Structure 1
Amino acid sequence: MASKGGLLPITRAFLSSYYDKHPFPTISDHVPRLSHHLYNLSNHLCTTTTSLPQGERLLLKEVEMLPPHKIDENMWKNREHIEEIIFLLESSHWPKPLQQQSTPEDVELAHLLTRLTEKCQGTLKLLESIQSKSAENVFNTVMTYMPQDFRGALIRKQRERSERNKKAEVDAIVNSGGSIRDRYALLWKQQMERRRQLAQLGSAGGVYKTVVKYLVGVPQVLLDFVRQINDDQGPMEEQRHRYGPPVYALAKLVLNIHLFLSLSWWRFEDIKWQKHQISILEEAVDVYTSEMERFLKFIGEVFANSPFFVTAEEAGARYVKNDEYRESSVPAGKSYEVSLEVESVNSYIAWDFSVAQGKISMDIGFSIEYTNSLGQKTLMLPYRRYEYDQGNLCTLMAGKYKLIWDNSFSTFFRKALRYKVDCIPPVVEAAASDQG
């Protein structure tokens, strides 16, 4: 587990100072210009007909709306529309007259569309890679600050199980003939579910209540981080303020490319593409893919090196400890006990403690015993002397458990015991029910 001493989650002010060192060069003026041109061409195609198919109506409505505020939602929207464009540019989805390539102009246009397809595929691949690396970076950072024992393993297993279930949901939509729009609506819903689970990890809610709230050794700074990282006015708002405008402009352009191409395919037999229209489409795809790739490479590096935690001195704030530990003084010749009522088999009893006398580290005896309904006692953890210890015990029986710190061997010195103890219900069963 990474050291957490004196750390605080990043603040918006600190992130602002970090982003000051990484300004993004201004997006090309061609991006809004081409968006405007394509929008006008699409409007012309719409005004020459009495009704639009549902898909095109939805696209037109989306074009006239503001892009989503969140950067990651814009990323998913870009992915969706790139895939839609690739779908339309595949030869099997061309209008019938174009598929026949009966004229030299059609042959030339077919070559152009193939080139544009390849450019879009390259951008899509890069976008998918950046998103995947970003997600792994956040999760691995969180796990670095988690205890590296059964607790971390439980969260990793829960994540693996959750991701398998999410993939199965997506596969089910694809296999049932769902559209690209349907698939991405589900993908974004799943992304929000990941965010909700991350927030639950920080607030000890949902399935993570059994993994976090009752755990020993999970740093409070980590819980604070995952709870507030995506708040509307939290640290990520600074990210949206700095890098939102370029991605908003790119999202608008790719949406206009998609709308124009979709309307053109729908009206292909009624209209004849003019050279300037083909030229605008070609330029729009070229500008979009080059500018999007420039933005992705920049933002991928910035996010990969962006801090999540800083020292209290760096943040300009005082670190306040809030770790829910308790303290007790154990007199010489005496012992101190904590009793737990365990309701379920395969629960975990977890503990973390240290002991001192003044500023000097001292040791104390520690053991755990179980008492059944008949009052019979069984030693579950043999007596040993420790200066400090962190561990857990999987219960094989429900009933009363007693954690005992023994200072009876000491004749003169009382011990200052600082401890944290809890009982964790069976996590696998809790996780399974939450998934259902």
Structure 2
Amino acid sequence: MASTEGLVPITRAFLASYYDKYPFSLLPNKVSRLTSELRSLADDLCLQEFLPLDEEESLLAIEAKVQAPRKTDENFWKNREQIEEIIFLLEKSNWPDLVRKQGSAEEVEFAGLFGRWKEKFQKTLNTLQFFQSRNSESVFNTVMTYMPQDFRGTLIKQQRERSERNKQGEVDALVNSGGSIRERYALLWKQQMERRQQLAQLGSATGVYKTLVKYLVGVPQVLLDFIRQINDDEGPMEEQRQRYGPPLYSLTKMVINIRFLLALSWRRFEARKLQRQQITVLEEAIEVYTTEFERFVEFLGEVFANSPFFITAESAGAMGGEKNTEYKEISVAARRTYEVSLMVETVKSYITWDFSLVPGKINLDIGFSLEYIDSSGQKMVILPYKRCESDKGKFCTCMAGNYKLVWDNSYSTFFKKVLRVKVDCILPVSDSVSSEATESL
């Protein structure tokens, strides 16, 4: 078990410095040019009145217009989905009837063209699958180096394998029931978000559950801190999204437009064969997309392979990062209050608090209360007002809405109070998370 002594999770400032060593050369201008040309050709086909858009084409038309997802991993899944859809179209059994019959020299030429396109996309798909698999294993293996190297580590590995088999079983059941590629990838992304949510819940665990996880299962505190904060809106991954997101978003838009034009052309092939201009644009777009996407994936694979999870506290401080603490020090002036409002969307969430007054020349108390405010502005007292030097507790919400924690120093005429406080809102720990922790124990 690797030691975590003196380590803290990577900070956004440190990650920015690390990424400075890995600049990604800009995509060529033809990526945006070809995407626009693909979209223009697709629009021309959409205007053909003899064959209106079907449901799938209508969904693609919307996707081709909206912004690409912001999450890096969601973009990778979106690209993988579109590549598989394109490969499906390029399967010989799915070619337009005229091409499958190959009754003329032109149709034989089309067949050769479709075969080459399929090979290019298959190679790109293999590159992406390898990247995702290697990255997932690398993250898990890195985490395991900080876990106990005894029966507990073995149990965690076994539980992960069991969980992944169950997820794969869900995918297999969907495929066997005739589920589409779109439905399969919607399920895969849902499973990915469940993994992320379970990690976030684990990292935010408190009380007895946190004690079990930390001491009996053997999860180090620094690892809990890492998985809790890594995907915060302004956390370390936001630096990754800002640094490497734009080229990935452009490639996502490009592959959606390639698929959109192909899908439209396939259904309209007998009425209007692929024109020379369409073939020229598709040929160049497919070459540019597969080349640039593979370059991006291989580049990011190198960045991820060398990226650290943890750094020393000294390094974090040198980068201007915040101290590794969950507490804030708040000065509450005389005749004033300090309030924290939490908008809770899920019932059975836990609101937790832990605060104490920083000792001063005069040790005094401060008022504290917790209240619920409904949509009409009516207040309901959850924790009655009391005066104390410190308090630690939690409340399980029974209603969604706005909860307000209030520290009251309005009764003090002269003395400010310095408060050291931590407040969390923790989503309900799902049954799957609880069972995984229990089985690991």
Structures share fold, TM-score greater than 0.5? yes
Per the alignment, residue 255 of structure 2 pairs with 254
Note if 1:176 corresponds to 2:181.
Answer: no
Residue 199, structure 1, aligned to residue 200, structure 2? yes
Report the secondary structure of 1:147's partner residue.
Answer: coil
Whole-angstrom CA distance in 1 between matches of 2:181 and 2:211: 37
Change in Cα spacing, 1:319 to 1:91, as seen in structure 2 (3 Å) is: closer
Q: CA deviation at 1:151?
A: 2.5
CA distance 1:181–1:216, shift in 2 (3 Å) = closer
Instruction: Say whether 1:431 aligns with 2:436.
Output: yes
Q: 1:294 to 1:211 in 2, by over 3 A?
A: farther
Secondary structure in 2 matching 1:124: helix
| Preserved CA contact (<8 Å) 1:200 1:206 | no
Q: Does 1:9 align with 2:9?
A: yes
Q: Give the Å deviation of 1:153.
A: 2.3
CA–CA distance in structure 2, aligned partners of residues 44 and 36 of structure 1? 13
Equivalent position of 2:45 in the other structure: 45
Alignment partner, residue 234 of structure 2: 233
Bigger Cα Rg: 1
Please state how far the C-alpha of 1:207 moved relative to its aligned partner: 13
Q: Which amino acid aligns with 1:48?
A: Q
SS of residue matched to 1:8: strand
**Structure 1 stretches of 5 or more lacking a match?**
323-426
Aligned partner of 1:95 in structure 2 is: 96
Once the two structures are superposed, the pairs formed by residues 69-218 of structure 1 within 5 Å of their partners are: 69-204=70-205, 212-213=213-214, 215=216, 217-218=218-219
Could you tell me how far apart the structure 2 residues matched to 1:261 and 1:170 are?
27
The whole-number CA distance in structure 1 between the counterparts of 2:77 and 2:103 is 38
Q: How far apart, in 2, do the equivalents of 1:213 and 1:271 lie? A: 65
Partner residue in 1 for 2:346: none
Question: Alignment length, in residue pairs?
Answer: 330
Change (3 A) 1:94 1:205: farther
Shift of 1:319: 5.8
CA contact under 8 A between 2:4 and 2:222: conserved in structure 1? yes
Query: Separation in 2 of the partners of 1:116 and 1:142?
Result: 40
Deviations 1:193-220 (A, max 9, x none): 1111222332238998685155375321
Deviation for aligned residue 1:275: 1.0
* CA displacement at 1:433 relative to structure 2: 9.3
Structure 2 CA distance for aligned equivalents of residues 206 and 232 of structure 1 = 25
1:155·1:211 contact (CA, 8 Å) conserved in 2? no
Q: CA deviation at 1:2?
A: 0.6
The CA deviation at 1:431 is: 3.5
TM-score (norm 1): 0.72
- Structure 1 window deviating more from structure 2 (213-222 vs 151-160): it is 213-222
What is the rounded CA distance, in whole Å, between the counterparts of 1:52 and 1:24 in structure 2? 38
Shift of the 275–205 alpha-carbon distance from structure 1 to 2, 3 Å rule, reads: farther
Q: CA deviation at 1:152?
A: 2.1
The verdict on how the C-alpha distance between 1:228 and 1:283 changes in structure 2, with shifts beyond 3 A counting, is: same
Report how far residue 430 of structure 1 moved: 3.0
| Maintained 8 Å contact 1:207/1:430 | no
Name 1:311's counterpart in structure 2.
312
Unaligned runs of 5+ in 2: 328-431
Aligned position for 1:300? 301
Residue type matched to 1:252 in 2? K
Q: Distance in 2 between matches of 1:196 and 1:127?
A: 24
**What code does the residue aligned with 1:3 have?**
S
- The root-mean-square deviation of aligned C-alpha atoms, in Å, is 2.4
Deviations 1:227-262 (A, max 9, x none): 111112110010000000111000000000000000
CA contact (8 A) 2:83 2:125 kept: yes
Q: Provide the identity percentage.
A: 64
Question: Partners of 2:99 and 2:289 in 1: how far apart?
Answer: 25
- Structure 2 counterpart of 1:8, one-letter code: V
Aligned-pair CA distance for 1:65:
0.8
